[in-house]
Structure 1
Amino acid sequence: MAGNTFGTLFRITTFGESHGPAIGVVIDGCPAGIEVDEELLRRELARRRPGQSAIVTQRKETDEVEILSGVFEGRTTGMPIALLIRNRDARSRDYSHIADKYRPSHADFSWEARYGLRDYRGGGRSSARETAARVAAGAFAKMLLRTLGVAVHAWVSQVGDIRLEAAWHQLDLSLTESNPVRCPDPDTAARMEALIREVRKAGDTIGGVVSCVATGVPAGLGEPVFDRLHADLGKAILSINACKGFEYGSGFDGVRLRGSQHNDPFYADEEGRIRTRTNHSGGIQGGISNGMPIYFRAAFKPVATIVPEQESVDRQGRPTTV
């Protein structure tokens, strides 16, 4: 099975299934000498951990990570870093009733069409459980990036029709963790949470948008043509479970502007650095970073697992419900 590895210089390979003994990741290409911040690692995994509030999946996982290699006396060695997260709350019996049925908008049918079999226990490898391994690898990436002065922040900017209209630089991003929705605007967060609870009470789900900004990125990163920086970002984000859309900079809204409005004028700041007065380009021009903040939005569909019965078929094509 291909497609388990992402990256070139800093490369990650994830492994494991939702209801297997464990999931994990091997990081290759992390330089030696990076101080390992285990508190950051725990904090990043805690942000993703299921069962932490009434508005997320109730699977209970501690998501404690074991560092198996690549770290010695608190610093990276330059060798592959192997991280393991054991599954503690895998209730495989909860899925026995769908062993021969295809759940609507899950990967059940397409996975079986591709491989001839599937792990029906929570989706197996196709489960969002896999993303915990990415988060662990991302924590190490953050440790590396902060030595270079690069910071990455993400927050929920939309749930259903409730959208946070303020630009990222108008927000106090330190408030992101102050509520279970992880929206940095308290009033908007309260409305989002109320909507989620209303939808959840009806046994249904709703989608949302995550916004992200990377600051301190130097100019000159990326390659032209097929390896453009935004193309690589798009591939990474769109590979996350349930992601249905990716836009950076002005994105789809940019089509409403004239070229004279959309162009980002250059100037030299007080320190002589080349900057742009606006940032419709989202920090990337010609597929290469220009030194301005890189920002993007990712849309996620409503969770496909819902309470009401849905029409489907079994392996033999016979009508059924799930």
Structure 2
Amino acid sequence: MSAISIQSLVKTFPPRGNAPAVHALDHVSFDIGHGEFFGLLGPNGAGKTTLISILAGLARASSGSIKVHGFDVRTDYVQARRHLGIVPQELVFDPFFTVREALRFQSGYFGLNRNDDWIDELLAGLGLSDKANANMRQLSGGMKRRVLVAQALVHRPPVIVLDEPTAGVDVELRQTLWHFVADLNRKGHTVLLTTHYLEEAEALCHRIAMLKKGRVIALEKTSTLLANATANVLHFKTDATLPPALAQLARITGRMVELPAHDPQEIEQHLAALRQAGVPVEELEIRKADLEDVFITLMNAPSCPTGVDAKGVQA
């Protein structure tokens, strides 16, 4: 039995006015093992939030199923929710409670009347001890997000879902959060993470699924995805315009340019083309391809008509 089992999940939003029906999820299937740190990646509109909304019981699938520790989120929703803690993207809080009161109130949803020892541990682990008696309205955005994490964990769920948990937060919070969550994962908790910070996914996730237009286009161990990537990336800065042949290959962000290179010969070809075009470069370096390179390559590739199955093998 998997920690999370997603089988042939479909979600279609009906047409509205002149707009056609939207197929947010198209027969998505994969399993997440117990104790796994799993990444769910994709661009905006890929279907990540829809999938998590169905997992949380906030939306209903058109067909297919999701189970948490063997409990169907639709038919066994009480048990499914007891095994699940979700940190949403949005900052949702009650302005009339202090931090401790909010956590006690959340505990009550799960019948936990004497939960202060665990609440104190959560407050300490997330750097909230000095804010325990502060009103939620007085907290910064980053502190509110820490409280959301604590609320998701207050009933000690074996499965934790983090939906863009570090969006718009400072470096200190990011490090505190990942240290705490990584420790929970080492203790056996299953973690499902969605993030646009791909360096986080690369550092934390054992395995990754990538969604594109509601379909799974990659499902592999993180190490396997990186091993199959372009071997090297030529990285530099310039104020000049690249030759058209290189511009088609390059990923350009402001002055920063990155060119994929499969072998040393291709690196030399890129450098020769830059010299011939008279393009001055600064801070030239050659680095290994990372998860962002893999992600961009897969998202820009033609969509696979058959998708991938639950084991990550082309169907």
TM-score (norm 1): 0.25
- Which gives a bigger RCO, structure 1 or 2 (Cα 8 Å, sep 6+)? 2
More helix by share: 2
Larger radius of gyration: 2
